[in-house]
A and B are shown apart, each in its own frame.
Chain A
Amino acid sequence: MTISSGARAGAGDETRRRHRKNGDKALIGKDVRNDENPKNSTGLRTRRRRWTPYVFLLPALVLELVVHFGPMVSGLTMSAMKLTQYQLAHWWQAPFAGADNYKAVLDFDQPVGASLLNSFLVTLGFTVVVLAASWSMGLAAAVSLQRTRRGVGLLRTLFLIPYALPAFAAVITWRFLLQRDNGMLNHILVDQLGVLDDNAFFLIGSNSFWSQCVVAIWRLWPFAFLMIMAGLQSVPDEVYEASSLDGAGPWRQLREITLPMLAPVNQVLLLVMFLWTFKEFETPYVLFGGSTPEQARLLSVEIYQNSFVTWNFGLGSAMSVLLLLFLLLVTGIYLAVTRRRASLHEA
């Protein structure tokens, strides 16, 4: 909530928030058992009131339990089981493995562990590259459009298309662009610009990492753009005008007004993009069609391989749990650090 007050301090929001607060108070009053209002104080009505919200919540709650939390808990159990395809039909009877699965996936001298470590490092590099590029591009586009007068709506719409395009359609198009013999990129680089002497492979070998990054950036940066645009709208024009009178140029305004005002948006944006990118699956799956090169193998692909290709469910679950722990750890640290910085700022 502290974030929203910083990011959306528009006048309209202010009244809405006040409105909401009053509403809250009114509602709290009504929920108290011995309300002063004689109309509501009959036992039956109050009791009905108390369970009504739970009835409305029930479907959502049940679905979340069944699809998210139930599987999460059983996943935790499976990570301590010796589970392969043979026990698939009655997995709950699989032999107990204790910490064996964890030992196996964390033994970096063995193939399984070494492969996991490799994909962890690939994912880390991928996330850093994609996040940095997407954020910078989103910021550059938003700041540029802020000072553009004609065609803003058109460009805004155009920039959002990659975000609206279903992932599989976007990535399969890139797969065509990156083909060695009949793709667009080699045509530009070799035939039109002459930068390369011979057609390069983009979907195997070490280039595949960068190909994957570019595709992911293409899909992700519009989201950063969208969020930063929204954040910029909360900065009143008068602030820029006042600083303009003081002789501040666009660069100084970017440094001294725009970036500080965007801090609350950035805090959420970077976290959300991190979580999305770290679990990215669609891009490698569609781009490489099931045989992801080692240099581009992300963690989610690695877990997928172990679980559904070699059917080593126990190992797959152990890797999943480790991934979850890592994400929780990073999120916790990130929130603690950014919160403290925000509160220091306010003090």
Chain B
Amino acid sequence: MRHETRGFRIFRRTTLTLLTAFVCAPLFVMASTAVKPLNQVQGEFRWIPTEPTLAPFVDMWTTVPLARYFANSIVVAGLATVLSVAVAVLAAYAISRWRFRGREAFKVTILSTQMFPGILFLLPLFLLFVMVDRYTGLSLVGSRLGLIITYLTFSLPFSIWMLVGYFETIPRELDDAAKVDGVGPVRMLYSILLPAARPAVVAVSIFSFMVAWGEVLFASVLTTEQTRTVAVGLQAYASEANVYWNQVMAASLAVSAPIVIAFLVLQRHIASGMTAGAVK
């Protein structure tokens, strides 16, 4: 048992109380505003709604085309996640199970892309997409496809690093036994490694989905009104002359709750992958 001085106890309690208040205040306001009628968000601020109502959750769908934004986000984030995890699994498999020329260079390259600010390649990427559009007719600007391709690379570095870390913990005796049985590299991956690495694959998927779901910068440039995602679409409420803050909060809550819950349920997996990746 460690002994604790009085000064430290005061410090500890103060810290935890203040931080809890700091974290909770916006979350509380988000939740309470989402159940307020409009006249209670336009006047003076109040903590507790006197006439709680679920109307904002109904009205939010009609003020802006939220359903369309929502559908776009699901398609974009969903496909980007599936593709990104698939690509990451293959790359991580190669890095963890083979020693080949360029292996270290590849690892460093992948990590370094994490460092470059998005704004650096947003503009050239935009123009590259314009060029592709012009010469092949493949529409990448303003389409969901362009966004999917872009997003799936965003989560690749983290996913690859985390999966490599996890693959390393799977004993190679399993591989060797399978190899003796004449199992080829592809079957080895999906019948031996993938089942064993399921927790890591789930964590990586959640992370990829979060990245694609919340991205604002590229979505603001690469989408049109038709393909807009929620990340940018929510702005539309705020740019109306009369801001329906109760609906904004209701919509924010609705589009983030599933993600936050998934993250919190899997927090240990994701956290260990993240910290391991960062300290390596």
Contact in complex: A264, B26 (CB < 8 Å): no
> Known contacts being A23-B172, A279-B117, A282-B216, is A240 close to B2, with CB within 8 Å?
yes
> Known contacts being A92-B131, A226-B275, is A173 close to B115, with CB within 8 Å?
no
Contact in complex: A269, B278 (CB < 8 Å): yes
Asked if B88 lies at the interface with its beta carbon under 8 angstroms from chain A, I say yes
Binds A, one of B50-58, B59-67, B119-127, B195-203: B119-127
Contact in complex: B123, A320 (CB < 8 Å): yes
Contact in complex: A155, B99 (CB < 8 Å): no
B90 in complex: contacting residue of A19, A57, A182, CB < 8 Å: A57
Q: How far is the CB of B208 from chain A (nearest CB, A)?
A: 13
Contact in complex: A148, B16 (CB < 8 Å): yes
Name the prevailing secondary structure of the A interface residues: helix
Contact in complex: B99, A227 (CB < 8 Å): no
Asked if A193 lies at the interface with its beta carbon under 8 angstroms from chain B, I say no
Contact in complex: A74, B249 (CB < 8 Å): no
> Known contacts being A265-B279, A275-B115, A285-B217, is A182 close to B99, with CB within 8 Å?
no
Name the prevailing secondary structure of the B interface residues: helix
Q: In the complex, A69→B113 CA distance in Å?
A: 8
Contact in complex: B23, A169 (CB < 8 Å): no
Q: How far is the CB of A267 from chain B (nearest CB, A)?
A: 9
Chain B positions within 8 Å of A145 at CB level: 16
Asked if A186 lies at the interface with its beta carbon under 8 angstroms from chain B, I say yes
Q: In the complex, A64→B112 CA distance in Å?
A: 11
Contact in complex: A169, B91 (CB < 8 Å): no
A323 in complex: contacting residue of B2, B117, B248, B267, CB < 8 Å: B117
Q: For residues 122 through 173 of chain B, which have their beta carbon under 8 Å from a beta carbon of chain A?
A: 122-125, 127-128, 130-131, 134, 149-150, 152-153, 156, 160, 168-169, 171-172
Asked if A307 lies at the interface with its beta carbon under 8 angstroms from chain B, I say yes
Chain B positions within 8 Å of A347 at CB level: none
> Known contacts being A137-B19, A281-B217, is A64 close to B280, with CB within 8 Å?
no
Interface string of B259-278 (1 = CB under 8 A from A): 11001100100011011101
Q: In the complex, A33→B93 CA distance in Å?
A: 21
Contact in complex: A218, B156 (CB < 8 Å): no
B103's nearest neighbour on chain A, judged by CB, is: A53
Chain B positions within 8 Å of A140 at CB level: 11, 15, 19
> Known contacts being A52-B185, A218-B26, is A4 close to B279, with CB within 8 Å?
yes
Q: In the complex, A278→B2 CA distance in Å?
A: 40
> Known contacts being A161-B260, A272-B278, is A251 close to B119, with CB within 8 Å?
no
Contact in complex: A67, B150 (CB < 8 Å): yes
Asked if B223 lies at the interface with its beta carbon under 8 angstroms from chain A, I say no
Q: In the complex, A338→B17 CA distance in Å?
A: 34
Contact in complex: A75, B29 (CB < 8 Å): no
A182 in complex: contacting residue of B44, B232, B253, CB < 8 Å: B44
Q: How far is the CB of A230 from chain B (nearest CB, A)?
A: 4
- Could you tell me how many residues of chain A have their Cβ less than 8 Å away from some Cβ of chain B? 116
Asked if B204 lies at the interface with its beta carbon under 8 angstroms from chain A, I say no
Interface string of A190-225 (1 = CB under 8 A from B): 010000000000000000000000000010000000
Binds B, one of A24-32, A95-103, A109-117: A24-32
Q: In the complex, A57→B91 CA distance in Å?
A: 5
Given contacts A60-B91, A70-B124, 17 further A-B contacts (CB under 8 A): A3-B280, A23-B168, A24-B99, A52-B94, A54-B100, A66-B128, A78-B124, A88-B130, A167-B216, A176-B29, A184-B29, A227-B275, A227-B278, A249-B8, A281-B118, A281-B217, A324-B116
Q: Which residues of B contact A (CB under 8 A)?
A: 2-5, 7-8, 11-12, 15-16, 19-20, 22-27, 29-30, 33, 41-46, 86-88, 90-91, 93-95, 97-100, 103, 106, 109-110, 113, 115-125, 127-128, 130-131, 134, 149-150, 152-153, 156, 160, 168-169, 171-172, 185, 210, 213-214, 216-217, 220-221, 230-232, 234-235, 238-239, 245, 248-249, 252-253, 255-256, 259-260, 263-264, 267, 271-272, 274-276, 278-280
Q: Return 15 A-B CB contacts under 8 Å, by A number.
A: A1-B280, A68-B113, A71-B123, A72-B124, A74-B128, A160-B267, A164-B267, A169-B256, A170-B26, A182-B41, A250-B5, A253-B2, A286-B235, A300-B118, A327-B115
